[in-house]
Structure 1
């Protein structure tokens, strides 16, 4: 079973699409990743189960 799932979300700062991998092996988690376009940090809250992502929320700090 593949535990890394590719997801696409819009950057909350610049609106550009961001493609990243979500690790679904550990269940729900939070992480911070920089936008590939504007380089600002995005806090992600990922809800998942092994092999699939159920929900992704991305927000800037604050």
Structure 2
């Protein structure tokens, strides 16, 4: 697991989430821990590193 920090596109607060680096591709919806608005998270990992991270408003 790796802690990844990013800015919420709704409230502009910096938040963090734990990313499982053993999963090559993940796409899911999670609520912002600050403003509770939904976020679509897309993550790609290779060799134990995040190679792509994207967060979008829903």
Q: How does the TM-score come out when normalised to structure 2?
A: 0.88
Deviations 1:11-35 (A, max 9, x none): 0101101100011112011011111
Tell me which stretches of 4 or more aligned residues in structure 1 moved more than 3 Å.
none
Q: CA RMSD in A?
A: 1.1
- Normalized against structure 1, the TM-score is what? 0.83
Select the structure with the greater relative contact order (CA < 8 A; seq sep ≥ 6).
1
Structure 1 stretches lacking a partner, 5+ long:
none
Higher strand share: 2
1:7-59 deviation line (CA, Å, top 9, x unaligned): 01110101101100011112011011111110011100101124211121000
How many residue pairs end up in the alignment?
58
5+ unaligned residues in a row in structure 2: which ranges? none
